[in-house]
Structure 1
Amino acid sequence: MYQLQRNHVLGGPVNLDISCPQCQSIDLAQSVPAAMSEGTHSGYSTGVHTGIGIAPGGLIPLVGASTHEFNQRSALARSLAWQPILPSAGRLSALGTILLVFVIIMFAVCSAAMLEKPLPSNPIRMMASLLGFYLLPILLSIPVVAVLTVAFRRARRNGKVDAGRNRARGVWSHGYYCHRCGVAYWPYPTEPGIPYRVALAPSQFRWHVWNTGGYAKL
């Protein structure tokens, strides 16, 4: 039996109809935040690793332990999420910056080497020499551009989600889920454009939440 939620409106506490619009019952109706919380589990796992190291006296056995944090969500919790999973752009940005510095150094080294050896006067041979000098840094710049592009897109996407997440979460927090019918719904009006007293599939409910935040089409 799931705990029923009581709500109030401005002007005094009143009981609202939180029954499922499909089966008209409340015994298996649960607030979306509560359903989300039940389907989310976090914890830590510890692993032991062994190996062989080299010391002045020869090979020695090595034993180490590592701890990892994990966060698991059920299919229902994922379908009712109020925001998408946001992969961090920080590591990619750092990697792209390091690679960019390396490519710039390569260009500088190649330019210095080119200055020590005069270029041929023949245009074709001159182009071949330039290509020979800068071929390696040019090839290395391709993955750098790719990494920085992905990092930029992630950062822009994350920024849009961050800008609308509070509004989306406000709408999301007023939703309910019926475990009997497998539908989500809003029992009362929340914002313009948000249907209420309408049974929605979890994916449809999530779309309305994300659309409120402005990131449904990202």
Structure 2
Amino acid sequence: MIEDRGHFDGIGLTASGFVPVFGTTSTTQIRRSALAVATAPEPALRSTTASVAWSIALSPLVVMGLLAAAMSVRSEIASGESVGVMIVTAAFFLFFAGPAIIAFAIVALLSRENRRIRRGRPIGYRLWQAAWFCHRCAGCFWVSAPLAGLPAQQLMAPHQFRAMVWRAAGYIGGRPK
């Protein structure tokens, strides 16, 4: 982690003229090496904040669509109109409700993926911590297999190691082993 603090001063121009400006800055950066990325014990969690915000913002459209559909069905029952009005009503509802439904579906999928990652963390970290990296060979290996089905004392490229850890932890292809 790289932290940096600084001080600045200068002159700013405002509507009332020039004014002195003083302040401090603070920045924090996290940099990861290519090796750390290639041998990551778990994928990054995906944020659901934007999708939830869109879902909430688009929710009134669902209500508008439901109201329009209800009024259309009510008028159809009163006047005895054809099935064509029902089709138009359904299309109208999907036009309004579709974006909100899609946003809620995205939230559900992202949440499901995040749950899978959280569920597999203990296994993923256990496998990751038991492994060794050989700088001379630029490969990863386990001295003894920490889990049945994983190769012991077999050198593998970092991306192969990561795939094995992620597959065993259930991040890729289903439940953890």
The normalised TM-score by structure 1 is: 0.58
Q: CA RMSD in A?
A: 3.6
- Contact 2:65 2:96 (8 Å CA) reproduced: no
Instruction: Give, in whole Å, the separation in 2 of the partners of 1:175 and 1:204.
Output: 13
List gaps (5 residues or longer) in structure 2: 7-14, 16-20
List gaps (5 residues or longer) in structure 1: 1-40, 47-56, 58-62
Instruction: Decide which of 108, 111, 123 is 2:82's aligned counterpart.
Output: 123
Instruction: Decide which of 134, 140, 149 is 1:178's aligned counterpart.
Output: 134
Length, aligned pairs only: 158
Give the C-alpha shift of residue 161 in structure 1.
Answer: 1.2
Instruction: Decide which of 63, 81, 98 is 1:142's aligned counterpart.
Output: 98
Equivalent residue of 1:193, what SS? coil
Instruction: Give, in whole Å, the separation in 2 of the partners of 1:182 and 1:111.
Output: 63
Letter in 2 for 1:177: F
Instruction: Give, in whole Å, the separation in 1 of the partners of 2:169 and 2:89.
Output: 51
Give the C-alpha shift of residue 163 in structure 1.
Answer: 0.8
- For residues 41-87 of structure 1, the C-alpha deviation after alignment (integer angstroms, 9 at most, x for no partner) is 465799xxxxxxxxxx9xxxxx9x99776433222111100001221
Are 1:206 and 2:173 matched, yes or no?
A: no
- Contact 2:69 2:89 (8 Å CA) reproduced: no
Task: Report the counterpart of residue 103 of structure 1 in structure 2.
Answer: 61
Q: What is the aligned-residue identity percentage?
A: 23
Instruction: Give, in whole Å, the separation in 1 of the partners of 2:108 and 2:150.
Output: 32
Task: Report the counterpart of residue 35 of structure 2 in structure 1.
Answer: 76
Are 1:86 and 2:45 matched, yes or no?
A: yes
Which one has a larger percent helix, Structure 1 or Structure 2? 2
Equivalent residue of 2:30, what SS? strand
